Chains A and B, each alone.
Chain A
Amino acid sequence: KAGVTQTPRYLIKTRGQQVTLSCSPISGHRSVSWYQQTPGQGLQFLFEYFSETQRNKGNFPGRFSGRQFSNSRSEMNVSTLELGDSALYLCASSLVESTDTQYFGPGTRLTVL
C-alpha cells in the first residue's frame, strides 16, 4: 500500500507570494491533517479535514487555509508569504477518527526569501 505523498518536496518563494501544497493520503484514509515544523517551535497543528470539511483548526492566521477533495486528497494554501513561514509542512492521514493512528508524509520544505 502506497504511503502518504506530498508535492512538491521543495519550494522556494519570495515574500508576498502565495503557495499551494498538495497531499495524497493513504488509500482508504479519509482524514488529513496538516502540520508546520520549524526548529524553534517544533511541530504545530494547522488543521484537519474529513469528508471535505474542516474538522479541527490550530492557532494559525487566516493566511493559512486548506481544502479536501472528494477523493480525500488535500491542499493547503498560504497567501502573502512571510519569512517566518519558511518551514517543513507535513501532512498526515488517518482512517476516520482523529484518534486513529496518523501516518505522515515526507513533507514539503518551503523556503521564503
Chain B
Amino acid sequence: TQLLEQSPQFLSIQEGENLTVYCNSSSVFSSLQWYRQEPGEGPVLLVTVVTGGEVKKLKRLTFQFGDARKDSSLHITAAQTGDTGLYLCAGGGYSGAGSYQLTFGKGTKLSVIP
C-alpha cells in the first residue's frame, strides 16, 4: 500500500510570510499532484509534476518533485488570505492489478491571518 505523509498538518501564519508544505512517501510515484480544497467544495488541481527534480511555478506558488519521485514540496511566497485552505498532495501510480490510481495525503490546513 502506498502512503503519503504530509507535514505540517496545520499551519497558521500572518499575511506576507512564506511557508513550505511537505509531502513524503517511501514509494515511487509516476506523477505528483497538488490540490487546494476550500470549505464546502471539492479539491481543485493546482499542478501536476511528473519528472524527478522538476520545479513548477504558479505565481507565488513553487512546486518541486523530488529527484527520486518519492517526495514533493509546495512553497508559498508572501502568503495572502486567499491562500487559506486545505492543501492536498496526491501520488499517481499503478496498483498491483495494473490499474492507475491516485493516493492522497491527509492534507495541510493553512490559515493565513490578515
Contact = CB atoms under 8 A, between A and B. Distances in A.
Interface of A: 4, 35, 41-45, 48, 55-56, 58, 90, 92, 97-99, 101-107
Interface residues of B, number: 22
A41 B105 CA distance: 9
Chain B, interface SS category: strand
Interface of B: 31, 40-45, 48, 88, 90, 92, 95, 97, 99-107
Contacts, number: 50
A102 B43 CA distance: 10
A66 B17 CA distance: 45
Nearest to A44: B104
B42 A107 contact: yes
Given A56-B95, A99-B92, A45 B101 contact: yes
27 contacts: A4-B42, A41-B106, A42-B88, A42-B104, A42-B105, A42-B106, A43-B43, A43-B88, A43-B107, A44-B104, A45-B102, A48-B99, A56-B95, A56-B97, A56-B99, A56-B101, A90-B42, A92-B42, A97-B100, A98-B100, A98-B101, A99-B31, A102-B102, A103-B45, A104-B42, A106-B40, A107-B42
